Structure 1
Amino acid sequence: MRERIALLAAFISCLSIFAPLRVFADIDAPAVPGELIVGFHEGASRARGFAGGPHGAEIVRRSTLVPAALVRIAPGEDVHAACEELLRRPEVAFAHPNYTGRAGFIPNDSQIFSQWHHNNGGQSGGTSGADIGSRFAWDLGRGSASITVAVLDTGIDSDHPEFSGRLLPGHDFVNGDSDPEDDHGHGTQVAGLLAANADNSFGVAGVDHFCQILPLKVLDDQGNGTTFDLIAALDWSRTQGVDVINMSLINYPLSGGLDAALQAADAAGITLVASAGNNGIGDADISAPGVSAYTISVGATDDSDQRAAFSATGQALDLVAPGANVETVVFDSAANASSAFTGTSAAAPIVAGMVSVMKALDPSLTNAEIRQHLQDAAQDQVGLPAEDAAGWDEYHGSGRVNLLASLEAVLGAVDAPVATVPDLALRLSPNPTRSESVLRFRIPQPQRVEASVYDISGRRVRSLLAGPRPAGTQSVVWDGRDDRDRPLRPGVYFVRVASGAVSHACKVTLLP
């Protein structure tokens, strides 16, 4: 029983565990002082209270829904010690502190529910869940004013309320002045997807709600620009403390000068995100700057998680993101509304916004680490089977991005203890899933391995693997069912893999 509670602690943290699984102190979460929740086995008598029990424990409230009670202990007594004592009683199924929670963040922007890329419930006729998971991700991070994102585009409408308090003094490389005002509209809409103000009862919400935005105008009022202006903007960014650059730009040739400028920006620690291009399948492939090895090249998906027909394909494609009829700001500072925006120009700023939130959580992240987190967290095989093969493919790259999983990956890397034993490299894909998910992990030598699925209470619902395994990468499929081959209810579950002295756990969400 103690192991069950300890498993719950391990799973909630979603971290690697390198010590025996035991007690409740492993859960780093706020709780009500002096209170714990005690669950009883079915059929056990719960008539008696805990008067005179361990640590002065007494029942103050009972649950009519589940066999559990709220227990209060004497002032100054230790809650964790009381849990340990109560677990020794045969009628007690579990005992843990009375943890506290809070409401999840849902912006009050007037058009937030039309932004299916944040939270897709099928409101636009698409597939529920075909989104980047913003709704729950924003509880983990919403960005920081310490992060600066440069938008290399047609400029940004400086009077727009969606960017109030967020715009830094930029530059116009087309006209050679310090006024990067948008005279086209493209840059304003791009910036809206990336970082429109949230929770201001106006318009839409960007992915990042707090980053500083640096407008750099490299395209004219017709949406055209030169390679030299793009190079100049990249060079200028290196002097301005920029953390992320978004380039919703296509059809530039990858000249030596442009690639050298991209390389220099990458070497300076700036994460470069670019559109893959809008020429679809064929010999078009990925256009520059997205084709460069120094950029994260982003294709587009629709609200059913299928590759948008216009989205360019090819060997340089890294990821895909929503980019077909996604809702962003209107190019009119007075309009409390949204406008549909289509193209890989729309997909790139969504990823750039994700990167800026990731960097806000961990400013020490390298570009290689950011790319790896995005790829590992991407949802694979969500598109058409003929295109979206397992792993990387030229149509979807590593998959459709997921903000929630990406932030969880960052937080896991930040909080993970120093390993004293080999890493199992535990991965689950797809995650979230509606049917099945593939569990992959690595063991350094032949040994016995156990892999199981647990529900949120810590109860094991499915044994996936138990026995000796050869060294190397292992793959196990979980079909969303329990040990009796019954479909499990949608919700959060945890997969635990134990091998030798190592035990790793990770969360998986089973969708309706």
Structure 2
Amino acid sequence: MRAIYRLALLSSIVLIVVLAVWYRSEHLNRIAYPDLQTSDQQQAFNEQQAEDLVMTIELFLSQVKLDLLHWEESLTNNQNEAAWIEEELNNHAHIDGFASYELPSETLIYEHGSLPEDSIDKFQRQSTSGDQWLYSEPYTSRGTKKMVVGLENDDEFFISEVDLSFVEHYVKELASLSDNNGNFFIGNSGLDLSFSESEATVDELSARRKIPELKWDLYLSSELENTTKEEMKKGEVVVVLAEEVEPEKWAEDHDVFLLDQMGKTVVVRDLTKEADEMMNQWDHDPSVKYMEPNYNFKKQTSNKASTSSKPIDLPNDELYDFYQWNLKQMNLEGVWNETQGSEGVPVAIVDSGIDPEHRDLQERVVKGYNAFENNESYFDDNGHGTHVAGIFGAVTNNEDGIAGVTWNAPILAVKVLDDEAIGNSFSIAEGIYWATDNGAKVINLSLGDEHDSEVMYEAIRYAYDNDVVLIAATGNDNVETPMYPAAYDEVLAVGSTNQNRERSFFSNFGDHTDVTAPGEHIPSTFPGGQYVMMSGTSMSAPHVAGIASLIRSQDEDLTNEDVYEKIRVTADDIGPAGFDRYHGYGMINASEAMNW
């Protein structure tokens, strides 16, 4: 049966290889990254996003097939597993029914759920990837797009009906969250996605991909950036008041609404005025020590063989072997022999929250905080934080989903970004303070912007002075402009690399860049019990946060600077000799870092 598992994923491997060959031939020949023209860069962003979406669909189909194989194996080995299979079917909304037949008589052995009467007759074609999976043509049943998937194996044959409207809607929802400026999966109405040319807005920048199993053609396009970015919260100012000043009274006297408070640091709002106008009015106010606009910050989303000895048991998670190239590239397999993380090293994911019900995360999240509401409601209504958290620490060896970099470190879910993955300097600062005060040994910050906020820096400094390791993403605009918090000296700044150990075309650079880590086509958790592919330096940062957690698990006496030094000194030099502004000290090497 293990052979069938490998066979089931052959189509996935072929797709990844095809995409990798295409990516290398189309992208790498032209990437002297800083010299990309605007239109070329926009085309590259569109193509990158299209690849992620296609691979997400392939990930969905592979999971369907793996679930069917798992159920069939359980049913074959133990007929009493029928009740468990029924429960599994009820938990998989996209699979309507499952049936098993004995061959060659086609005698029905087991059936549960909804299946069309002519299920077997519907099979018209085999997989285009050369494996033994069979597919029906997509069809409509009671207004819903569906298809039948099956596999014949020696003396048995089993089939399932899959709801395609689910995946089509799901992928379109992902696309609607995409940003046309390289910050992948952020709200943006300028992006168009469809599965037929008649629906699509097709132009010279469009990315087109075929999905042969579903007979879909995916078209993705977006216009060049031509809008002014909202750099700050309208009518909001962060004010640091003198010690003797009472915030409520000050706000009342100045006719502004006291929106939030953290000691003598407050956020005040007057939506009838611009932030600069308010600050000019208070420029000579003796009760004001410092003030700045409440800047907006957003998430930063956009194979060398291991020389370490392999652990006795590699992760048995269903997507590990064929999809998680990123963990293998960092030489993690040997590291897991030495440590898999410690419950004494809590790590805070300061982001859009985390889905607390995701089966690959619910055992890992021990506590959470919502900086907007000052409560424990950390549910992720965007998806970015859940994806970041899964990379760092998904439940491993549960025969499901993905493996995490660290297997045991508790996760603190800190929600500082809203449903569009946008936050502000004050909410981020609150989240950092909370994480530090609640025992975080490592903080991951897959967010940022070019604003050097004093309020946020004070929080960064507070965490650093309390010996917290701070990891942040450099950003996805292919620019040298420093992004904060990544550009602060107290933070380890992480850029992105691809499967070929080369800097991603979108990855920001500069003298503040410390290291790079995998950031393209990274599979991870997503709200609703799902798994998707995403790309961006947001995905790179939690890889490094995971390594930092493992280092601190191995030696609790190391300071945050000791951890930074280990990571920098042991990175693989993949660019010009020595430190350079595109790769920093190089690509992170977990095995070397742990043993240095």
Superposition TM-score tier, normalisation by shorter sequence: 0.5 to 0.7
The equivalent residue for 1:161 is 359
Q: CA deviation at 1:328?
A: 1.3
The equivalent residue for 2:407 is 209
8 A Cα contact 1:286 1:314, kept in partner: yes
For the residues of structure 1 that align with 2:349 and 2:310, how far apart are their CA atoms?
34
Question: Of 469, 490, 494, which residue of structure 2 is paired with 1:271?
Answer: 469
Q: CA deviation at 1:368?
A: 1.3
The equivalent residue for 1:329 is 525
The equivalent residue for 2:386 is 188
TM-score if structure 1 supplies the norm length? 0.55
TM-score if structure 2 supplies the norm length? 0.47
Q: Which protein, 1 or 2, shows the higher relative CO under an 8 Å CA cutoff with sep ≥ 6?
A: 1
Q: CA deviation at 1:103?
A: 5.3
The equivalent residue for 1:301 is 497
Question: Of 127, 130, 144, which residue of structure 1 is paired with 2:342?
Answer: 144
Question: Of 304, 313, 320, which residue of structure 2 is paired with 1:105?
Answer: 313
8 A Cα contact 2:361 2:394, kept in partner: yes
For the residues of structure 1 that align with 2:400 and 2:528, how far apart are their CA atoms?
13
| In the alignment, structure 1 residue 341 sits paired with structure 2 residue 549 | no
For the residues of structure 2 that align with 1:102 and 1:401, how far apart are their CA atoms?
19
8 A Cα contact 2:450 2:482, kept in partner: no
For the residues of structure 2 that align with 1:150 and 1:348, how far apart are their CA atoms?
12
The equivalent residue for 2:488 is 292
Specify the SS of the correspondent of 2:545: helix
The equivalent residue for 2:451 is 253
1:227-238 alignment, distance < 5 Å: 227-238=425-436
| In the alignment, structure 1 residue 170 sits paired with structure 2 residue 368 | yes
For the residues of structure 2 that align with 1:267 and 1:177, how far apart are their CA atoms?
25
8 A Cα contact 2:310 2:333, kept in partner: no
1:106-145 alignment, distance < 5 Å: 106-113=314-321, 114-119=323-328, 131-145=329-343
Specify the SS of the correspondent of 1:139: helix
The equivalent residue for 2:552 is 359
The equivalent residue for 2:580 is 393
Question: Of 558, 570, 576, which residue of structure 2 is paired with 1:377?
Answer: 570
| In the alignment, structure 1 residue 350 sits paired with structure 2 residue 511 | no
Q: CA deviation at 1:164?
A: 2.9
Q: CA deviation at 1:367?
A: 1.3
Q: CA deviation at 1:400?
A: 0.2
Structure 2: which amino acid aligns with 1:110? E
Structure 1 pair 222–142 and aligned structure 2 pair: CA distance change class (3 A): same
Structure 2: which amino acid aligns with 1:165? E
Structure 2: which amino acid aligns with 1:104? I
Q: Deviations over 1:250-274 (max 9, x none)?
A: 2151222211211110010110000
Structure with bigger helix share is 2
Question: Of 402, 411, 427, which residue of structure 1 is paired with 2:589?
Answer: 402
Structure 1 pair 103–377 and aligned structure 2 pair: CA distance change class (3 A): closer
For the residues of structure 2 that align with 1:200 and 1:363, how far apart are their CA atoms?
28
| In the alignment, structure 1 residue 239 sits paired with structure 2 residue 437 | yes
Specify the SS of the correspondent of 2:595: helix
Specify the SS of the correspondent of 2:517: strand
Question: Of 500, 511, 531, which residue of structure 2 is paired with 1:315?
Answer: 511
Specify the SS of the correspondent of 2:360: helix
For the residues of structure 1 that align with 2:458 and 2:511, how far apart are their CA atoms?
20
8 A Cα contact 1:326 1:346, kept in partner: yes
Q: Deviations over 1:208-228 (max 9, x none)?
A: 100000001000001110100
For the residues of structure 2 that align with 1:184 and 1:264, how far apart are their CA atoms?
28
Q: CA deviation at 1:178?
A: 1.4
Structure 1 pair 277–111 and aligned structure 2 pair: CA distance change class (3 A): same
Specify the SS of the correspondent of 1:117: helix
8 A Cα contact 2:380 2:527, kept in partner: no
Specify the SS of the correspondent of 1:297: strand
Structure 2: stretches of 5+ with no match in the other structure: 1-308
For the residues of structure 2 that align with 1:276 and 1:260, how far apart are their CA atoms?
19
For the residues of structure 2 that align with 1:202 and 1:286, how far apart are their CA atoms?
39
For the residues of structure 1 that align with 2:525 and 2:475, how far apart are their CA atoms?
22
8 A Cα contact 1:313 1:394, kept in partner: yes
Q: CA deviation at 1:238?
A: 2.2
For the residues of structure 2 that align with 1:134 and 1:391, how far apart are their CA atoms?
24
For the residues of structure 2 that align with 1:212 and 1:265, how far apart are their CA atoms?
18
Structure 1: which amino acid aligns with 2:562? E
Q: CA deviation at 1:105?
A: 2.9
8 A Cα contact 1:147 1:359, kept in partner: yes
**Aligned-pair Cα RMSD in Å:** 1.4
Structure 1: stretches of 5+ with no match in the other structure: 1-100, 120-130, 382-387, 410-512
Q: Deviations over 1:412-465 (max 9, x none)?
A: xxxxxxxxxxxxxxxxxxxxxxxxxxxxxxxxxxxxxxxxxxxxxxxxxxxxxx
For the residues of structure 1 that align with 2:537 and 2:497, how far apart are their CA atoms?
9
For the residues of structure 1 that align with 2:556 and 2:592, how far apart are their CA atoms?
18
